[in-house]
Amino acid sequence: MDLFKEKRFYKFLIPSIIGCLLFVTPLQYQGQLTIPIAVLANTLLDVLSNSITTIIWFLITISGTVTCIHRFYPITWITMNPRLQTLFEIRGFWFYVRIVGMIFVNMLYFHIGPAIIVSDITGFVVLHDLLPILVCVFLLAGFLLALLLDFGLLDFFGALLIKVMRPIFNLPGRGALDCVASWLGDGSIGVLLTSKQYEEGFYSKREATVIATTFSFVSITFCLVVLTEVHLEQYFFPFYLIVSLSGIVAAIIVPKLPPLSKVPDTYAKDIPHSEDIPSDMTSVEYGLQMALDKADHSPSVMQFIKEGIYNVLDMWLGTLPVILAMGTIALIIAEYTPIFTILGLPFIPLYELLQIPEAALASQTVIVGFADMFLPSVIASTIESDITRFVIAATSVTQLIYMSEIGSIIMGSKIPVSLVNLFIIFLERTIVTLPVIALFAHIIF
């Protein structure tokens, strides 16, 4: 069979190349290592900079208003559309989170209400620093993630990496691409990719939850920002090696512990699932066959656009209110209450056991990372010991789950994980990675 004469080969090849170029190809931009989709998102943000806050206010207000109206006075055009039903017909906890998001965005936009909400260190951080770039990422990812998902690329790489991902992490080979997209670009892209794969039935509940909470690595760029904050940027190379190694250790151990080990291997959709490579085929041959079969069923241009519009609306109207509400509340708790400091007290003996200087100060940074990944480094910047600042910075990155972004995005997605379980996973990651980081930090310092 001559592949180059087959139409479906080009239906796989061309979109996949474009997807790789956009999502997983590293490039230097303004002195930083990033990926093209992140550059496009920042460029779009620059274009919309004067109106982006108004756009966010409008999107979250529309989301809350329509949801509220539809709950008490059902809207026909929503009831007749399954996708819009899923978006606006929400009940219980998530209904109230969306309404709180709408209330917060109006308080922040019009600068009214209690200072703890509209403060520059709580709600304004989420509204002005986090959400603008996410609006742009969601717009681009909503349309362009299909290049990775719908034309065979994940199927091809999934087959190639079965022998790595399945025995080591008990995950599908395609999960590796989620990791690469996060590592080179942004953790939010990895979560969106994972959520979409779960919705389409390619990941089970357990696989989606594990990948989202384990493989949505922080980007190289943000690691450098964190290290610069603690005045140790000259140690970037060993820092990132230690972060990567401890992240791999956590990826092996944490999914074997509850609650991740208790998540069932059930699927959102009933589709065939098999990663067994036929005995008469190589991994490459099998991956190519899977990719071409997927390309045979790839969407038309109109389907591509229509699906992209629904994806963007889902992210904008469904996820943004959750991020604003949960992120603001987490930062309020971190800044205005001693809760995170008190919760960090049990870590003092652990820091002392690991012979980390200024253990009491270091312990205050542990749990605050659940609110925002950058807060531990801000607190650590005043600590005198280099090794302590290094350990705090590395730990904050490997903790991975923080409610001002990744945690809220996971909770706003279709991935089935509760806030309590996210916090438990956060603690487990901390306990697993901290000794590894401390061991190598003592070697360096």
Where is average pLDDT lowest: 8-17, 150-159, 313-322, 333-342?
Answer: 150-159
Same structural domain, 216 and 105: yes
Q: Are 363 and 351 in contact (CB under 8 A)?
A: yes
The answer to whether the bond into 172 is cis (omega within 30° of 0) is no
Angle at 262 between CA 260 and CA 411, to 5 degrees: 50
What DSSP state is assigned to residue 371? T
Same structural domain, 199 and 215: yes
* Structural domain includes residue 137: yes
* Structural domain includes residue 136: yes
* Structural domain includes residue 278: no
* Structural domain includes residue 323: no
Per the structure, the count of domains in the chain is 2
Q: Are 332 and 117 in contact (CB under 8 A)?
A: yes
pLDDT in the model for residue 358: 92
Same structural domain, 177 and 240: no
Q: Are 47 and 135 in contact (CB under 8 A)?
A: no
Of 274, 293, 317, the residue at which a domain comes to its end is 317
Same structural domain, 134 and 175: yes
pLDDT in the model for residue 158: 77
Strands (E), 231-354: none
Same structural domain, 251 and 163: no
DSSP assignment string, 144-169:
HTHHHHSSSHHHHHHHHTHHHHHHHH
Is 30's pLDDT higher than 80?
A: no
pLDDT in the model for residue 249: 93
What is residue 68's three-state secondary structure? helix
User: Is the model more confident about 351 or about 154?
Assistant: 351
Structure tokens at 270: 């009933």
Same structural domain, 354 and 310: no
Structure tokens at 116: 């703890």
Query: Containing domain of residue 426, as a range?
Result: 229-260+329-444
pLDDT in the model for residue 185: 52
* Structural domain includes residue 265: no
Same structural domain, 305 and 391: no
Q: In b/e form, how buried is each residue of 80-112, taking b as 16+ CB within 10 angstroms?
A: eeeebeebbebeeeeeebbbbbbbbbebbbeee
Predicted confidence band of residue 221 (pLDDT cuts 50, 70, 90): low
H or E segment to which residue 34 belongs = strand 32-34
Where is average pLDDT lowest: 57-66, 91-100, 173-182?
Answer: 173-182
pTM greater than the 0.85 cutoff: no
Is 440's pLDDT higher than 80?
A: yes
SS3 of 270-297: CCCCCCCCCCCCCHHHHHHHHHHHHHHC
Where is average pLDDT lowest: 13-17, 33-37, 81-85, 231-235?
Answer: 33-37
Predicted confidence band of residue 349 (pLDDT cuts 50, 70, 90): very high
Predicted confidence band of residue 187 (pLDDT cuts 50, 70, 90): low
Predicted confidence band of residue 57 (pLDDT cuts 50, 70, 90): very high
Q: Mean per-residue pLDDT for 325-338?
A: 86
H or E segment to which residue 440 belongs = helix 419-444
H or E segment to which residue 29 belongs = strand 27-29
Is 165's pLDDT higher than 80?
A: yes
Is 184's pLDDT higher than 60?
A: no
Is 39's pLDDT higher than 90?
A: no
Is 223's pLDDT higher than 80?
A: no
Collect all residues with Cβ–Cβ distance below 8 Å to 306 and sequence separation of at least 6. none
Collect all residues with Cβ–Cβ distance below 8 Å to 273 and sequence separation of at least 6. 202, 267
Of 275, 293, 317, the residue at which a domain comes to its end is 317
Residue 61: how many other CB atoms lie within 10 Å: 17
pLDDT in the model for residue 283: 83
Is 46's pLDDT higher than 90?
A: yes
Structure tokens at 299: 């969407």
pLDDT in the model for residue 120: 87
pLDDT tens column, 393-416: 999 989 988 886 788 788 878 888
Q: Are 214 and 255 in contact (CB under 8 A)?
A: yes
Beta-bridge mates of residue 267:
204
- Of how many residues is the chain composed? 445
Nearest CA to 379 out of 188, 125, 121 is that of 121
User: Is the model more confident about 47 or about 223?
Assistant: 47
Same structural domain, 8 and 89: yes
pLDDT in the model for residue 186: 59
Structure tokens at 89: 């017909």
Is 284's pLDDT higher than 80?
A: yes
User: Is the model more confident about 96 or about 240?
Assistant: 96
Predicted confidence band of residue 434 (pLDDT cuts 50, 70, 90): very high
Same structural domain, 430 and 299: no
Is 1's pLDDT higher than 60?
A: no
pLDDT in the model for residue 305: 92
Same structural domain, 254 and 180: no
Angle separating helix axes 52-72 and 36-48, nearest 10 degrees: 90
Structure tokens at 87: 């978006």
* Structural domain includes residue 148: yes
Predicted confidence band of residue 180 (pLDDT cuts 50, 70, 90): low
Q: Compute the distance between CA of residue 57 and CA of residue 63 in angstroms, rounded to an integer.
A: 10
User: Is the model more confident about 1 or about 421?
Assistant: 421
Is 31's pLDDT higher than 90?
A: no
pLDDT in the model for residue 103: 97
User: Is the model more confident about 256 or about 8?
Assistant: 256
Q: Mean per-residue pLDDT for 166-185?
A: 73
Is 40's pLDDT higher than 80?
A: yes
Q: Mean per-residue pLDDT for 48-74?
A: 95
Same structural domain, 101 and 8: yes
Structure tokens at 424: 């438990």
Same structural domain, 239 and 306: no
Beta-bridge mates of residue 29:
32
Distance set, CA 325 to CA 118, 319, 332 (Å): 12, 10, 11
